[in-house]
Amino acid sequence: MTDVTLDTVATATLPTRRDIGLKRRYAAERRFRLYGVLAILVGLAFLAVMLVSILSKGYTSFWQTTVSLPITFEEKVIDPDNKRATDPNVLVTANYPALAQKALAEKLGIDPKNKPMMTKLKGFLSDGSRVQLRDVVVSDPAVIGTTRNVDILAGANLDSAFKGQIDLTVPEDRRKVSDQQVEWMNKLKTEGAMAEHFNTGLFTFGASSRPETSGLGVAIIGSAYMMVIVLLLALPIGVAASIYLEEFAKKGRFTDLIEVNINNLAAVPSIVFGLLGLAVFVNFLGMPRSAAFVGGLVLTLMTLPTIIIATRAALAAVPPSIRSAALGLGASKMQMVFQHILPLAAPGILTGTIIGLARALGETAPLLLIGMVAFVANYPATPFDPATALPVQIYMWANEAERAFVERMSGAIIILLVFLMAMNITAIVLRRRFERRW
């Protein structure tokens, strides 16, 4: 008996294992996980490749090659007829590049009468020397007749060569820098007269057809104007609208209409806002084209939904007990909102606003339509003057053919990204520090 029982027990405890495909299923599980990891890695890899490619192309734009030359401000070149006392235009229109050219020839030991050698000097110095020397003379006319050391910008091609971006093994006739110029460049380099300096011009110059004298000055001012306008308009209007919708509006058709509108506006393509700006602000109301003011208005309309949605979330997160307490102590509804709810919701509102501003700062398409793609060389004194914006300037440089513009463009992208990064990090820090969990 016992034997038999033992036998049956043995067979019962050891059933033949049913094949439920565990191996296959676990393999599928591992594969699925791998796909997930791969998907994330693809996204991150793309981010890394993009940032590295922009950084590697753009970081050199923060340095600019200059040639330090002892310029003799000769009276007979600047003001041959000695008329500057009566006609101030003389100092403005004088042939300053000739001075720079002469100083360079002297420095290199070239005889100014040696015509073929002098033509090879062409392009060595930037044409921006005209403006540089003019500014020196106009600000201090007493400099005429004396000699002074001035750091003259090198030409765009020499700048590239100096930074080692031009392949010098290519035959001479297929590159933009001649062997003679390279020889001079190396000579000046060993003498210490030619060196790279931090490129302040990138931040201060306006539009120019020459890469070495073009910069982001106008674009930064234009973008700053627009950000101020967006902040001044979108923040109060957005907060007011959210307060109404969240605290005062009765549920009904009208409120529903507003909400549907806000949700849809948040998803309308940005270029449509540009069309609106062009048709209404520029064409119908006759506001100036290319002006930062119109750009600011368009960006305000575009940013409003973002701010409203963030503000409403922040207001809704304040617990109802605070409202009841304020009302119970005799505050009016308006006092309750403005003295109790709004301060508590402020960090959330601020975060939403900063994120909205960051989006507005990077927006390009609507600005193209209202004519901010303009060649603006002078700083806009008011928001009503023609201006460009940071991303629009990047777009304009992207359409230029010269390689030095690609360098500037990448540099501008780095600056734009730094601004955006700073804004986003501020938003994150604000959220971490001040956001309360109720």
Partner 1 sequence: MSSMLVLAIVIVIGIVAFVIARQRAAAQDDGKIKPHSRAHYHGWWAFLLSVLPAVLLLAVWSIGSSVYLNSRLHAQMPAETGVASEPLAVSLTKSLANGLRKLDPQQVSALPATFAELQPLLAAKGVALATDTQDYMIPIAAEANQGADRLGLIGAVGTIGLALAGAFYGISQVQLRARARNNVERLMLWGLLGASTIAILTTIGIVLSMLFQTLNFFNRVPPLQFFFGTVWDPRFAAAGAGASEGQFGLIPLLAGTLYIAFVALLVAVPIGLMSAVYMAEYAAPKVRAAVKPALELLAGIPTIVYGIFALVTLGPFLRDLSAALAGGASFIQAQSILTAGLVMGVMLIPVVSSLSDDIITAVPRAMRDGSLGLGATRSETIKRVILPAALPGIVGAILLTASRAIGETMIVVLAAGVAANLTLNPFEAMTTITVKIVNQLTGDLEFNSPQTLVAFALGITLFVLTLVMNIVALYIVRKYREQYE
Site for partner 1 in 206-265 (CB under 8 A): 236-238, 240-245, 248-249, 257-258, 261-265
Residues 77-136 that bind partner 1 (CB under 8 A): none
Q: Which residues lie across from 173 on neighbouring strands? A: none
Q: Which is nearer to partner 1, 153 or 314 (CB)?
A: 314
Of the candidates 6, 40, 232, 329, which one interacts with partner 1 according to CB under 8 A? 40
Rounded to whole angstroms, how far apart are CA atoms 226 and 244? 26
- Tell me the closest approach of the beta carbon of residue 338 to partner 1, in angstroms: 9
Q: Which region among 62-70, 89-97, 151-159, 411-419 touches partner 1 (by CB under 8 A)?
A: 411-419
Of the candidates 6, 9, 50, 232, which one interacts with partner 1 according to CB under 8 A? 50
Torsion of CA 408, 411, 417, 421, to 10 degrees: -150
- Tell me the closest approach of the beta carbon of residue 345 to partner 1, in angstroms: 15
User: What is the Rg, in whole angstroms, of the alpha carbon atoms belonging to the chain?
Assistant: 33
- Tell me the closest approach of the beta carbon of residue 333 to partner 1, in angstroms: 8
The site map against partner 1 for 136-165 (x = CB under 8 A) is ------------------------------
Q: Which is nearer to partner 1, 72 or 270 (CB)?
A: 270
Binding flag, residue 29, partner 1 (CB under 8 A): yes
Residues 316-355 that bind partner 1 (CB under 8 A): 332-334
Of the candidates 97, 123, 141, 362, which one interacts with partner 1 according to CB under 8 A? 362
Q: Which helix (H) or strand (E) holds 150?
A: strand 147-153
Rounded to whole angstroms, how far apart are CA atoms 115 and 137? 28
Q: Which helix (H) or strand (E) holds 68?
A: strand 63-72
Hey, what are 74's tokens? 């000769």
Q: Which residues lie across from 152 on neighbouring strands? A: 67
**Residue 341 contacts residue 327 (beta carbons within 8 Å):** no
Q: Which is nearer to partner 1, 123 or 384 (CB)?
A: 384
Say how many residues touch partner 1, by CB under 8 A. Answer: 85
- Tell me the closest approach of the beta carbon of residue 6 to partner 1, in angstroms: 32
Residue ranges of E strands in 180-333:
194-198
Residues 288-317 that bind partner 1 (CB under 8 A): 301, 304-305, 308
Q: Which is nearer to partner 1, 130 or 312 (CB)?
A: 312
Residues 418-437 that bind partner 1 (CB under 8 A): 420, 424, 428
Q: Which is nearer to partner 1, 103 or 372 (CB)?
A: 372
Count of C-beta atoms within a 10 Å radius of residue 409 = 23
- Tell me the closest approach of the beta carbon of residue 415 to partner 1, in angstroms: 12
Of the candidates 398, 418, 422, 429, which one interacts with partner 1 according to CB under 8 A? 398
What SS3 class is residue 82? coil
Count of C-beta atoms within a 10 Å radius of residue 405 = 19
For the chain, the helix, strand and coil percentages under 3-state DSSP, each to the nearest 5: 70, 5, 25
φ/ψ of residue 247, rounded to 5: -110, -30
**Residue 239 contacts residue 307 (beta carbons within 8 Å):** yes
Residues 270-289 that bind partner 1 (CB under 8 A): 270-276, 278-280, 283-284
Q: In what order do the strands lie in the sheet with 147-153?
A: 147-153, 63-72, 194-198
